[in-house]
């Protein structure tokens, strides 16, 4: 069983994917973390995330980098969005993600192109979304909870920019697969959102 969970930044897709993996006893991969690692490696290399050669070189990052707390910062999220527009970067990470998806027993993957590119054969495809304002509020609460002071308006502006890059990039743009279940979590808390998603998944499996 492969469950693909797509959606824009701060939509709640990561939390939902982790909960689904735990519920069904499946391994989970946050594919966005791979792009965050590439973005972080570009910065460590002193390179330019908008330069495809620099970004491709960073795809050779050491797996230990995936545990770097800096990967989760807002600044590094912006770098990840910038390196992800390069077709060569996406191709370099493609097989790694597909191998994870197609392991015996299946898996849960979350990202922006799981249901459309990485695992179009997934039995369940979800597209989790929420309003820009709500996503910015959630990210702001997350950041302030980690004692990182950043204006809410700055986070909202960054989300708008990242959405535009993700939606408009030529290679594997952010979009719901034609057969995906689109779920808007704007008015739900984490528990309510998961209950809604779990019900949808269980209905899909009959």
SS3 content of the chain, % helix, strand, coil (to 5): 60, 10, 30
What is the average pLDDT value for the chain, to the nearest integer? Answer: 93
Band the pLDDT of 13: cuts 50, 70, 90.
very high
How many other C-beta atoms can be found within 10 angstroms of the C-beta atom of residue 160?
12
Inside any domain, residue 204: no
Inside any domain, residue 44: yes
Inside any domain, residue 202: no
More confident residue, 75 or 131: 131
With beta carbons less than 8 A apart as the criterion, state whether 135 and 10 touch. Answer: yes
Inside any domain, residue 205: no
Domain hosting residue 123, numbered range: 2-197
List all residues 6 or more positions away from 191 whose beta carbon is below 8 Å from its beta carbon: none
As for how many domains the chain has, the answer is 1
Inside any domain, residue 179: yes
Where b means 16+ CB within 10 Å and e means fewer, 94-104 reads: eeebeebbeee
pLDDT for 74 equals 81
| Strand 107-111 to 2-6 pairing | parallel
pLDDT reading at 91 higher than 70: yes
What region, left, alpha or beta, does residue 26 occupy, with left being phi > 0 and alpha being psi -120 to 50 degrees?
beta
Inside any domain, residue 148: yes
Residues 31, 43: Cα–Cα separation, whole Å: 19
pLDDT for 204 equals 78
Inside any domain, residue 133: yes
CA 164 to chain centre: 15
Question: Residue ranges of the alpha helices (H) in 112-189?
Answer: 132-145, 152-168
pLDDT for 206 equals 65
If we measure between CA atoms, which residue out of 43, 188, 20, 13 comes closest to residue 106?
20
Inside any domain, residue 137: yes
CATH number for the domain harbouring residue 166: 3.40.50.300
pLDDT reading at 200 higher than 80: yes
Q: pLDDT for 138-196, tens place per residue? A: 999 988 988 888 999 999 999 999 999 889 988 888 999 999 999 999 999 989 999 99
């Amino acid at each position: 069983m492969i469950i693909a969970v797509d959606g824009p930044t701060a939509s709640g897709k990561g939390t939902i994917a982790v909960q689904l993996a735990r519920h069904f006893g499946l391994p989970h991969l946050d594919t966005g973390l791979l792009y965050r690692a590439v973005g972080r490696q570009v910065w460590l290399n002193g390179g330019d995330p908008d330069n495809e050669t620099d970004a491709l070189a960073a795809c050779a990052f050491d797996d230990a980098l995936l545990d770097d707390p800096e990967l989760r910062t807002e600044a590094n999220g912006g770098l990840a969005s910038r390196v992800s527009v390069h077709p060569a970067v996406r191709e370099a990470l493609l097989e790694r993600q597909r191998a994870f998806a197609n392991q015996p027993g299946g898996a849960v993957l979350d990202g922006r192109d799981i249901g459309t590119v990485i695992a179009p054969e997934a039995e369940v495809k979800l597209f989790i979304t929420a309003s820009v304002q709500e996503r910015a509020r959630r990210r702001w609460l997350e950041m302030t909870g980690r004692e990182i002071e950043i204006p809410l308006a700055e986070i909202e502006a960054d989300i708008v920019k990242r959405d535009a890059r993700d939606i408009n990039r030529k290679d594997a743009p952010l979009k719901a697969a034609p057969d995906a279940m689109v779920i808007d979590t704007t008015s739900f808390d984490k528990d309510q959102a998961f209950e809604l998603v779990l019900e949808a998944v269980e209905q899909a499996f009959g």
